[in-house]
Amino acid sequence: MPVDVDLRKLRYFVEVAERLHFGRAAQALHIAQPVLSRQIRALESELGAQLFVRDRRASELTPAGRQLLEDARPLLASAEALRRRVGRAARGPRVFAVGFMPGLIVTPAVRALSARHPGLTVEVLRMSWDDQAELIRDGHVDVGYVRLPIDRRGLRTRHLLSEPRVVSLPADHRLAGKDVINAADLADEHLLQDPDAVPEWRDVATEMATGSRGAGPQIRTVEEKLEHVAAGRGIVILPLSTATFYTRPDVVHVSVCDLPPNQVHLAWDATRRSPLIQEFVGVAVASQG
């Protein structure tokens, strides 16, 4: 028998599943804890599965709960993207949103699309490593200039350009005077970013081999990362355009000869058939010359 899943209950479930605490989840949702508990019990009843193992101190996900969490996130993102697109169409005039990663210049393509469609409002939104794919999936942007690697599930992509990568070091670092170095020269350094963004560094990093890499503070923006670099707390690997854009006197950028170039792609929701998206992709590729 088909089950109609209530998106509100799904949102409640995800909040509890991510926090594994009904009290804190209720506070974040601005509802009473007994109300939240009733909603979760109702969802379990509708699905015919227990989602949490509860005791007085904490909650844990059951296998069914873990599966629902995996499936609920993209479902909620799709629902939010649908809401945004319908709302955008209803408001008018038409709006087209372009996302971009730091260091990338989108002005030529934005101006070209605006010139072709005088009634179109073209907005731009700065993205980050952590949210570049999600901002496309949830409908915040129509097309994004993304830096690989990303999770491509639900996305279509087209290669746009490649650019060298450099390591950012404090100005007084032992390698700061070098013109070019190897990735192995950075083996003993602490990386101030997600290692998944620099898989080549994983192969040589001492802190990965010894398991000494701590969680550390969550550093999201390029500006924050460079503040930590300048303070001598570690290094970051950046595409050359990003490093050039964020030039500062207490940080130097050195070429790393055996790091492959960063790949920049255009990405958009694979389910969408908007002619504007295809037109912008063509314009963006042409603007690269």
Question: Residue 8 belongs to what H/E stretch?
Answer: helix 7-19
Take residue 135 and report the two structure tokens written for it.
């901002």
Structure confidence by residue, pLDDT tens digits, 105-140: 999 999 999 999 998 999 999 998 888 998 998 888
Mention every residue, 6+ apart, whose C-beta is less than 8 A from residue 230. Answer: 170, 171, 248, 250, 251
For domain 7-76, which architecture applies? Orthogonal Bundle (1.10)
- For residue 2, pLDDT over 90 is answered with no
Mean of the per-residue pLDDT values of the chain: 88
Class of domain 92-161+263-287: alpha beta
Interstrand relation of 165-170 and 251-256 (parallel, antiparallel or unpaired): antiparallel
21-24: long-range pairs with CB below 8 Å, 24+: 21/58, 21/59, 22/54, 22/59
CATH topology assigned to domain 165-260:
D-Maltodextrin-Binding Protein; domain 2 (3.40.190)
Whether 7-76 and 165-260 share one fold: the answer is no
Structure confidence by residue, pLDDT tens digits, 179-204: 999 999 999 999 998 888 888 888 88
Please state the pTM of the whole predicted model.
0.69
Domain ranges of the chain: 7-76, 92-161+263-287, 165-260
